[in-house]
Amino acid sequence: MSKQIHLQADDGHAFQAWCAAPDSPPRGAVVIVQEVFGVNQHIRQVCERFAGEGYLAVAPALYDRVERDCELPYGPEGVARGIAIRKQISDALALRDLAAAIAYVGEQRGVAESGVGVIGFCWGGTLAWLAATRLAGIDAAVCYYGTGIAGYVSEQPGVPVMLHFGEQDKNIPAADVELIESRHPDLEVFRYPAGHGFNCDDRPAYDAASASQAMARTLRLLSETLG
């Protein structure tokens, strides 16, 4: 069952989140962190995919701090508008919303015993990294093409982290990925013959083989850390 839910951060900010629940008791939960385009159809479908794998999935609407019900089109116009909204929301504020989503899923029946993962894409990939280094209540994090991770490379994750990068990603220099690997040699870092956004089947950059392989690896990490 899928539905819109309402959450509140510790600073009083009330916001929406998309919630997809499995048909049977959850084997754990995942918080899905949006790209620059908001909690759109693709992010909701990602939630549905993880629910189909047995996980309670929740995607907090981080743009609610600036604009409610924000779903942006793919392409230059959507990117530009998303960047403008994103600049008004600090990573610290976004983490407050993530913390609220993590707390929510952790309180649901069967999840406290199983664990919580955070999975993010683009900006969300950076936030998934910061959740692993700064937030309590999670057991694993997966970062898909996190554009800002290199800027936080000095921070140490407290849980297992997996990172997915595209070798043809023009938004993330290869030197950034190499820096992350050199500073965190214990992390699982995977490269794919694809560009930025390769997991999204609504974008021209979608690469089915890379997305499938990354998903299989992500599910493997979740099976090792949750449940």
Pick the catalytic residue from 19, 122, 143, 200: 122
Pairing mode, strands 14-20 and 29-33 = unpaired
- The residue extents of the domains of the chain are 2-225
Over residues 20-47, mean pLDDT: 96
Candidates 42, 196, 200, 207; catalytic one: 196
Q: Which of 64, 97, 169, 176 is catalytic?
A: 169
d(CA 144, CA 122): 6
Residue 32: its pLDDT value, please? 98
Query: Would you say residue 110 has pLDDT above 80?
Result: no
2-225 to CATH, choices 3.40.50.1820, 3.40.50.300, 1.10.3720.10, 3.40.50.20: 3.40.50.1820
pLDDT tens digits, residue range 168-198? 999 999 999 999 999 999 999 999 999 999 9
Residue 19 annotated among the catalytic residues of the structure: no
227, pLDDT greater than 90: no
Q: State residue 2 phi and psi, 5-degree precision.
A: -120, 145
With H, G, I as helix, E, B as strand and everything else as coil, classify residue 216.
helix
How is residue 62 written in tokens?
A: 């981080």
Cα separation, 59 vs 81, in Å, equals 20
The pLDDT of residue 204: 93
Q: What is the mean pLDDT of the chain?
A: 97
Query: Is 169 an active-site residue?
Result: yes
Q: Is there a contact between 173 and 152 (Cβ–Cβ < 8 Å)?
A: no
Specify the pTM: 0.97
- Residue 202 appears among annotated catalytic residues: no
